[in-house]
Amino acid sequence: MLKNELETLANCLAPERGGKGIARTKLRPDFNKILSESCMRARESWASAAFSNEANDVIYRYFDFHFKFLCGLISENSGSEDDAATRELCHLLDHLLLYYKGYINYQQLIPSEYMRHRLRNCQVMYQQFMKQLYKLNSDIDLRVCLEESLSKIYCYVPAEPVDLNSLFYREALLTELAGKRNCAELMSSESLISTLISLNFNHFLFLAYLRKKVILKLEQIPAVDYDKHIADLMAATPVMPDRGQLKFDTNWPHVANMYRDCLNDFQVMFALTRVKRNQEPVPAKIPLSISVKHLACMIRVLYETGYYGNISLTAIFDHAAAVFTTKRQQFISPDSLSNAYYEISQAAAIKMSRMFAAAIEFLKPYCFPA
């Protein structure tokens, strides 16, 4: 019959009330012996349960219960005077996750003390990898990116509780990276980038590094080769599913897809630049010292006297709006010219009459030369 194999251990660790009502853990003189025997008994019982004839759902509930119970013991015992008990509990949880993690839901949170225990085991591997990175890789930007991002992951316990998925991802990432540390070719930027993308290291610093790397490369090649370079990078970066994949940040898409979006943005930018470059330059508008009403009045006078010939008023308004600016309006609309054309004010008529009179006075000497 499956039962709680940690009950005896829990009773030994149960907090008692001190003289001032403060909870404390009072350990029995034979506590270390009980701790060792309880952990051994739990390991043996777990092995028996895994090969028992019980239904699968019963076995799943059995291991899930022990995972939750053991996490609770670690949380309650963290910060106590007996660190050996906490270490032993963490080692017992290591055993449970090593051999029976298939029965455990990875989305469950783990105690901060246990996360500290697992990260402590990663310290040597992390330091060896970083040492070799600075020794074998000359890409300063990549070194800075990995130092700033990985140090926060492996040197500090997260402020918020993390789940098993996050823990296993951290360990798998470091194991893969550390496995490259003794080979110069595997420590190259191309190899590390490929590994980080395949492991979905969707850290914002890594994505920023990838984008900066593209920009630096574009600055070194002719503009005519931009499209080919981006196309080559797109072809080398597969589209990845966002679901069912281990990732650093579960709130972000796969890093490969975000990288492809960046590359696609570059392609769109290049296309827009080409369109703008191929367009004929727009001529600068001619500034007039008259208002829209005065301009409309002048157009009407010229139109009524046959200056424009058979050109339609719509074409005249469109052309004037595209070519001229006035004192108060930098952008003239054809509609405003049309409205002023059909509603000539007295002030506009007087103003333009004086201008036309001045024009006639200017032409008189040429009409009647001395």
**Together in a domain, 264 and 290:** no
Band the pLDDT of 370: cuts 50, 70, 90: low
Task: Check whether 366 has a pLDDT greater than 90.
Answer: no
Band the pLDDT of 23: cuts 50, 70, 90: very low
Tell me how many domains the chain contains: 4
Band the pLDDT of 3: cuts 50, 70, 90: confident
User: Average pLDDT in the 181-193 region?
Assistant: 90
User: Average pLDDT in the 45-60 region?
Assistant: 89
What phi and psi, each to the nearest 5 degrees, are found at residue 176?
A: -65, -45
Beta bridge partner(s), residue 324: 286
**Together in a domain, 259 and 320:** no
In a domain, 111, yes or no: no
> What pLDDT sits at residue 285?
85
Beta bridge partner(s), residue 171: none
What phi and psi, each to the nearest 5 degrees, are found at residue 331?
A: -120, 120
Beta bridge partner(s), residue 17: 23
Q: Look over the chain and give the mean of its residue pLDDT values, rounded to a whole number.
A: 85
251: domain range?
A: 202-279
CA distance 29 to 149: 46
**Together in a domain, 11 and 82:** yes
> What pLDDT sits at residue 133?
92
Give the start-end residues of each E strand in the chain: 15-17, 23-25, 286-287, 324-325
Cα Rg for the chain, rounded, in angstroms? Answer: 39
> What pLDDT sits at residue 41?
87
Band the pLDDT of 30: cuts 50, 70, 90: low
Provide, rounded to the nearest whole percent, the portion of the chain with pLDDT above 90. Answer: 41
> What pLDDT sits at residue 19?
42
In a domain, 347, yes or no: yes
Domain end (from 141, 167, 199): 199
**Together in a domain, 235 and 217:** yes
**Together in a domain, 98 and 65:** yes
> What pLDDT sits at residue 81?
46
Structure token digits, residue 129? 């990898």
In a domain, 100, yes or no: yes
Report which of residues 270 and 189 the model is more confident about. Answer: 189
**Together in a domain, 272 and 321:** no
Mean pLDDT is lowest, of 82-96, 171-185, 227-241, 275-289, for 275-289
- DSSP string covering 62-85: HHHHHHHHHHHHHHHHTTSS-HHH
In a domain, 230, yes or no: yes
In a domain, 110, yes or no: no
**Together in a domain, 212 and 251:** yes
> What pLDDT sits at residue 173?
94
In a domain, 26, yes or no: yes
Q: pTM for this one?
A: 0.67
Mean pLDDT is lowest, of 64-78, 171-185, 230-244, for 230-244
Q: Is 261 exposed, middle or buried (0-12, 13-18, 19+ CB in 10 A)?
A: exposed
**Together in a domain, 12 and 98:** yes
User: Average pLDDT in the 43-47 region?
Assistant: 90
Alpha-carbon torsion angle 113, 118, 123, 126, nearest 10: -130
Domain end (from 199, 227, 259): 199
Q: At what angle do helices 140-154 and 189-198 cross, to 10 degrees?
A: 40
Q: Is 51 exposed, middle or buried (0-12, 13-18, 19+ CB in 10 A)?
A: exposed
Q: CA dist 185 to 128, 131, 135, 142, Å?
A: 17, 16, 12, 15
In a domain, 149, yes or no: yes
Mean pLDDT is lowest, of 31-45, 206-220, 284-298, 348-362, for 31-45
> What pLDDT sits at residue 24?
45
**Together in a domain, 246 and 310:** no
Report which of residues 368 and 23 the model is more confident about. Answer: 368
Domain end (from 199, 229, 249): 199
Task: Check whether 208 has a pLDDT greater than 70.
Answer: yes
Report which of residues 275 and 100 the model is more confident about. Answer: 100
Residue 109 is classified by DSSP as B
**Together in a domain, 126 and 173:** yes
The closest alpha carbon to 74, from 98, 110, 107, belongs to: 110
Tell me which residue has tokens 């036309």: 356
In a domain, 1, yes or no: no
> What pLDDT sits at residue 17?
37
Please give the helix or strand (H or E) that residue 12 lies within, else none: helix 7-13
